[in-house]
Amino acid sequence: MAAKVTIVNNGPIRIEGEFTIQDAEGNSYGLGGRAVISLCRCGLAENKPFCDGAHGKNGFFSECKARELPPPKLKI
């Protein structure tokens, strides 16, 4: 199953399906066989990049509606 990414209103980024998560150096996080994971959007999680629910305790607010992006600009 291709990965599905959901931006949760006032919460994390939820990823479901087959995926890997890597750090900036290309090292993979050990996900313990999980097929669903939530990534922090608020910046307050103790276990970054993973969500620990800190957004709910700190009043994080962000609602993102789906929209069309413009075509990418050509790189010359």
Tell me the per-residue pLDDT of 36-64, one tens digit each, with 9 for 90 and over.
999 999 999 999 999 999 999 999 999 99
Report the predicted TM-score, pTM, of the whole model to 2 decimal places: 0.88
Q: Order of strands, edge to edge, in the sheet holding 13-16?
A: 4-7, 13-16, 36-39
- pLDDT of 5 strictly over 80: yes
Q: What CATH number does the domain located at 1-63 have?
A: 3.40.5.90
For residues 14-31, average pLDDT: 97
Sequence ranges of the domains in the chain: 1-63
DSSP state of 26: S
Position 1 scores a pLDDT of: 74
- pLDDT of 16 strictly over 80: yes
Structure tokens at 48: 């970054």
- Whether 60 and 41 have beta carbons less than 8 Å apart is answered as yes
- pLDDT of 76 strictly over 80: yes
